Structure 1
Amino acid sequence: MTSVGRMRLVVVGLGSLLATALAARAEDVKDYPTSARSEYVFGCMKANGETRQSIDQCSCSIDIIASLLPYDRYVTAETVLSMSQVRGNLGTQFRSSEQAKGALDDLRRAQAEAEVRCF
């Protein structure tokens, strides 16, 4: 095999690796269901003025969060946020649990990063 033939094989191989990596990355970003992304964007827009600019910023924000936080961890944090507002013993369990605090801290870090990058 000539050096040109070997070079073609290397280029084709690298191209295949790159395509595989890009496809895997796209799957990572798309692991949040559309309904969860939409719900986040609607809530974010309510908090940020419901303008065209807020659509872009809020869409960017959920994309950043999705890239930093697995969906199951996001659901856990959202559940903690919701349940911690419940009065009484049930709400106290969600406010005081170390697991709940950890999930909430992860979400807040991801939201802070999204704020820096998107707003």
Structure 2
Amino acid sequence: MALVGSVRRIVAALMVLAAMAVIAHAQDLNDYPTSARVEYVFGCLKANGETRQAIEQCSCSIDVLASLLPYQRYVTAETVLSMSQVRGDMGSPFRTSEQAASALNDLRRAQAEAEVRCF
């Protein structure tokens, strides 16, 4: 009898640990703030037509992007993309550095995957 009680406690503890791991993993995958997701979807809608189908595709796209690219890396790539358009010496580091190119490549790969999955 005591063995059965111990096994039940161990199983219960393992289930709690597994649930905590699932929650932590879900939070890692959902580290994009709502405002960033909405901003992405609005931009996507402008580029793809403001239809119901485009809403579904653009929502899917940001979900795929978020699953492949951590939010901090997304912010870095978006900053590089924006700043690389600045003319002259101010934008030069964002157009020529290896770190900037790497961040942009990560974003473009994630966007390409989202395009394949969602559009």
- List structure 1 runs of 4+ shifted beyond 6 angstroms: none
Q: Tell me the CA shift for residue 7 of structure 1.
A: 5.2
Q: Tell me the CA shift for residue 30 of structure 1.
A: 2.3
Equivalent residues of 1:29, 1:63 under 8 A apart: no
5+ unaligned residues in a row in structure 1: which ranges? none
TM-score in terms of structure 2 length: 0.86
**Aligned residue number for residue 101 of structure 1:** 101
CA distance in 1, matches of 2:54, 2:113: 17
CA distance in 2, matches of 1:80, 1:30: 22
AA matched with 1:89: D
5+ unaligned residues in a row in structure 2: which ranges? none
Q: Tell me the CA shift for residue 35 of structure 1.
A: 0.9
Change (3 A) 1:6 1:31: same
Q: Tell me the CA shift for residue 5 of structure 1.
A: 4.2
**Aligned residue number for residue 77 of structure 1:** 77
Q: Tell me the CA shift for residue 74 of structure 1.
A: 0.7
CA distance in 1, matches of 2:49, 2:100: 30
Matched, 1:111 2:111: yes
SS in 2 for 1:85: coil
CA distance in 2, matches of 1:59, 1:42: 10
AA matched with 1:12: A
Q: What are the Cα deviations for residues 11-62 of structure 1, in whole angstroms up to 9, with x where unaligned? A: 4234223311221122112211111111000001111111111111111111
Q: Tell me the CA shift for residue 10 of structure 1.
A: 4.9
Q: Tell me the CA shift for residue 69 of structure 1.
A: 1.3
Equivalenced residue count is: 118
Aligned CA-pair RMSD: 1.7
Q: What are the Cα deviations for residues 62-103 of structure 1, in whole angstroms up to 9, with x where unaligned? A: 111112211111111001111111111222221111110011
Q: How does 1:55-66 map to 2 (within 5 A)?
A: 55-66=55-66
